[in-house]
Amino acid sequence: MGEGLEAYQQALVTIAPDRADDRRQRAALLALSGFCLAYSAAVAGLLPVLRYVPLEAVLTFKPEPGQISMGYYGYLLNGCLGMSAAWLLGSFVKVPLAVAVWTAGVCVAAALIGLPVYEYLKLFK
């Protein structure tokens, strides 16, 4: 009877997922949260946005008034920087997986709901 229990425990050890997978999941969820927060903050004007002025072929944070500039890639750059910072945080700091899941869910919901509401309310200023 003892041999069967030992074999069962050995099988559980070989089947059980390792903790590196949990760390990767936490890091990925926190990276998603970081992207949503940084992108939303850039759209809301809380972070500086790198803009491209195509007629002059320059990158700038403050285009001259009247210049046509494109800021979408700057928003994405801010989001990717936030994602990278959150990925590193999730890789090195032990955050419970449930906290990472809830954080990602709240950040994604806030970005999906908050950005359109922010843009709508900005029309009435």
Structure tokens at 72: 């979408």
pLDDT at 18: 56
- Read off the pLDDT band of 6 (50, 70, 90): confident
Q: What is the pLDDT of residue 12?
A: 54
89-93 long-range contacts (CB < 8 A, ≥24 apart) are 89/30, 89/34, 90/23, 90/26, 90/27, 90/28, 90/29, 90/30, 90/31, 91/23, 91/27
- pLDDT at 125 > cutoff 60: yes
What's the pLDDT tens digit per position in 11-67?
Answer: 555 554 555 577 888 889 999 999 999 999 999 889 999 999 888 888 888 888 888
Which residues, 6 or more positions from 61, have their beta carbon under 8 angstroms from its beta carbon? 48, 49, 50, 51
85 neighbors 22 (Cβ within 8 angstroms): no
Mean pLDDT of the chain: 84
* pLDDT for residue 94 is more than 60: yes
